[in-house]
Structure 1
Amino acid sequence: MTFDSARWQARFDELRAAHRVPGASLAVLVGGNVHELASGVLHRATGVEVTTDSVFLSGSLAKVYTATLVMQLVDSGGLELDTPVVSVLPEFATPDPEATKTIAIRRLLSHTGGLTCDFTYDSGRGDDCLARYDDGAHLRYEFVDGMKDFSPPLEMGLVPVTETVFAASGGPAFGGEHFPVVFSTLADGTECVYIGMRVTPKVA
């Protein structure tokens, strides 16, 4: 089976324009070979063209093909929906050891596993943005004006709990404990961050 690159490139361009999508990339698997296409621009203001190496945030698109692959395995008898996830993916873990042991594949597919994983960290622009993303989120907390001598600047590592709530730790001032850091926007549009009192991990 052959892949007509020119035909599909034209069709891809046509669909992108018809649906007013600024830019897109596409990979098609045919006969064991991957054919890559690109169309449009990454940003209308800059006019930078999309290439097959351009990076896009895939978002929830992964849910569709992941669920499809899982159900194909179920249909072929290679997987059971009520199998605990950790028995298939040993690296799977949650803050709750009991939940880690019992959450089944069916729960993940139906969004009933109780997980809160919607976290997007903006590591900025540039060729090293992916490396900065891997470094994780950090926060520098510094007193200013009349309180600048109250405490030296504090550097904190942030572990995401939800999209706006983080567990902060780091530096001798905090020891090995964590405390909440919450990012929010007030009703008047003011962006703010709440850095809470130090708390210890829940043990009971």
Structure 2
Amino acid sequence: MAQEGNRKLSAEDWAQAALNALGEGGLSAVAIEPLAKRLGTTKGSFYWHFKDRAALIEAALATWEQLGTDAVIAEVDSEADPADRLHRLFAHVIDYAAHDRVELALLASADQPPIAAMLRRIADRRIEYVAGLLREMGMPAAEARTRAVVGVSIYHGFNHLARVAPESLPGTDEQRKTLVDATFHTLLP
């Protein structure tokens, strides 16, 4: 195995480096030689862990799915009250949209089959999670689903604004809280 500094690199290190490159320059930025250079290693380290670039992209997508959806849901689920979970979810995703570019890069590559399948799966999971929270709050299933689609769409709008007009997103904690509250209330009848 190759080393970064004095540490042995893992497949997870490569996947994270691929995600970072993806967020900075899109799918085309996920290239083995530049990643090896960034990690301070050789291409041999890459081939120790992955068969090819497609396998690295698959690992990076799995990492992103875990961090961007699974971990967020687990964190939010620590709240007992579904309304508090929903509010906390939007606080988290508004902050995420302001600081992370990976999801936008993935959306820009949504025509690529492995990315399209993952994005569809994640969108369904996120919509179902928000709909479940709304149902727990007493909303009928059909209305909960519709409002969940609106909520996930709002999140994608935050991501887009962070990319094209970052100054339009809140800069202070108080402004961010106002935006989170407005989003939360938009979803409630």
The structure having more radius of gyration, on CA atoms, is 1
Bigger relative CO (Cα 8 Å, ≥ 6 apart):
2
Query: TM-score band, normalised by the shorter chain?
Result: under 0.3
TM-score, normalised to structure 1's length? 0.26
More helix by share: 2
TM-score, normalised to structure 2's length? 0.28
More strand by share: 1
